[in-house]
């Protein structure tokens, strides 16, 4: 059973040992994500038996708790059991309650969902490592697009270069290639936008959700640090004009707010285009400073 919005569900049930949806067993296929709710809370829980499915001798046991490794999983008839049906009903009830208690989503989540919803069959969507991939993990539905993320490796280095390589590989295929990254990830690999004069030019939309620093650290254990330390060493606001910097490297650029993003994404585009998304108020102030709309 696929559980959309699973991170919030996992956080809730793993904090409550008597929760009626608490799992007895986790079956791991491939390398698990680095997400705390999965790696620490679920695979690290004493009362959850971890079974790793892997046919090689170097199986990933990320939490070091595998009770058993098996070369392959075979189906059995438990998929039709009453217990599974009852669990499905309880998960659906939880999702309904969570949806009605949900707070409005932030503008960054709105931007991530706009990119997700613009992605269709034949499109490729590359996700950087940041809050945005977690936003989509929590809030996005299913998609027919091909989604690629270095989740589990999780370095922010080389993300733009990886996306330009994927865009080049996709050149003779239908569909568009898009990269969705935060501003720190974009800045880390901005020179990945440079295409040498004798090289092929990829068609790639780079969507940068610019909230001036690493939002992700506000939701991790780093947030317990004194605010000045958190800011200086982790969230690292920078004030860089990313559209200006990208333009100087040869990319076409656009600056939008979340409400304008779907329209920008739908417009036809060739070559590398960098779309910088900022909160409405911040974008307006940069426009009035410059005295013109970019």
Ligand X SMILES: Cc1ncc(C[n+]2csc(CCOP(=O)(O)OP(=O)(O)O)c2C)c(N)n1
> In the bound complex, what is the minimum distance in angstroms from residue 155's beta carbon to ligand X?
4
List the one residue out of 120, 211, 196, 116 whose CA is nearest residue 161: 196
Write out the binding residues for ligand X, residues 128-147 only, by CB under 6 A.
129-132
**Residue from the set 32, 37, 182, 192 that interacts with ligand X by CB under 6 A:** 182
Using CB under 6 A as the binding rule, whether residue 109 contacts ligand X is answered as: no
Q: Contact, 180 vs 118, CB < 8 A?
A: no
- Per-residue contact string for residues 199-228; x = within reach of ligand X by CB under 6 A: ------------x--xxx------------
**Residue from the set 179, 184, 230, 242 that interacts with ligand X by CB under 6 A:** 184
Q: Contact, 204 vs 178, CB < 8 A?
A: yes
CA 10 to CA 13: how far, in whole Å? 5
> In the bound complex, what is the minimum distance in angstroms from residue 239's beta carbon to ligand X?
13
**Residue from the set 157, 199, 259, 290 that interacts with ligand X by CB under 6 A:** 157
CA 139 to CA 103: how far, in whole Å? 12
Segment interacting with ligand X (CB under 6 A) among 17-25, 125-133, 165-173, 268-276: 125-133
List the one residue out of 16, 12, 20, 55 whose CA is nearest residue 37: 12
Closest CB to ligand X among residues 54, 211: 211
CA 138 to CA 126: how far, in whole Å? 17
Using CB under 6 A as the binding rule, whether residue 36 contacts ligand X is answered as: no
Using CB under 6 A as the binding rule, whether residue 279 contacts ligand X is answered as: no
Q: Contact, 131 vs 107, CB < 8 A?
A: no
Helix (H, G, I), strand (E, B) or coil at 171: coil
User: Nearest 5°: phi and psi at 63?
Assistant: -95, 0
> In the bound complex, what is the minimum distance in angstroms from residue 216's beta carbon to ligand X?
3
Beta bridge partners of 41: none
- H or E segment and range at residue 204: strand 204-209
> In the bound complex, what is the minimum distance in angstroms from residue 113's beta carbon to ligand X?
14
**Residue from the set 4, 155, 237, 271 that interacts with ligand X by CB under 6 A:** 155
Segment interacting with ligand X (CB under 6 A) among 24-32, 52-60, 123-131, 280-288: 123-131
Angle between helices 107-118 and 258-266 (to 10 degrees): 20
Closest CB to ligand X among residues 13, 243: 243
Task: Summarize as ranges the residues that interact with ligand X (CB under 6 A).
Answer: 129-132, 154-157, 181-185, 211, 214-216
């Amino acid at each position: 059973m696929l559980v959309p919005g699973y991170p919030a569900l996992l956080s809730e049930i793993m904090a409550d040992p008597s929760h009626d949806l608490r799992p007895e067993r986790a079956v791991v296929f491939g390398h698990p994500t680095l997400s705390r709710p999965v790696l620490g809370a679920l695979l690290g829980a004493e009362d959850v038996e971890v079974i790793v499915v892997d046919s090689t001798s170097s199986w990933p046991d990320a939490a070091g708790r595998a009770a058993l490794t098996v070369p392959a999983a075979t189906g059995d008839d438990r998929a039709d059991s009453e217990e599974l049906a009852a669990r499905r009903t309880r998960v659906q009830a939880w999702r309904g309650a969570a949806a009605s208690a949900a707070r409005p989503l932030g503008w960054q989540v709105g931007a991530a969902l706009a990119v997700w919803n613009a992605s269709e069959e034949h499109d490729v969507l590359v996700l950087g490592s940041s809050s945005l991939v977690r936003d989509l993990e929590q809030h996005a539905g299913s998609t027919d697009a091909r989604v690629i993320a270095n989740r589990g490796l999780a370095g922010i280095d080389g993300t733009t270069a990886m996306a330009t390589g994927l865009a080049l590989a996709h050149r003779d295929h239908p569909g568009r290639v898009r990269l969705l990254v935060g501003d720190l990830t974009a800045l880390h690999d901005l020179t990945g936008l440079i295409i040498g004069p004798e090289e092929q030019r990829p068609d790639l939309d780079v969507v940068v959700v610019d909230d001036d620093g690493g939002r992700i650290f506000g939701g991790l254990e780093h947030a317990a640090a004194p605010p000045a330390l958190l800011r200086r060493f982790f969230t690292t606001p920078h004030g860089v004009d990313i559209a200006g910097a990208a333009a100087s490297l040869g990319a076409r650029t656009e600056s939008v707010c979340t409400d304008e993003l779907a329209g920008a994404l739908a417009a036809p585009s060739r070559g590398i285009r960098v779309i910088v998304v900022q909160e409405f108020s911040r974008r307006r102030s940069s426009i009035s400073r410059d005295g013109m709309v970019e």
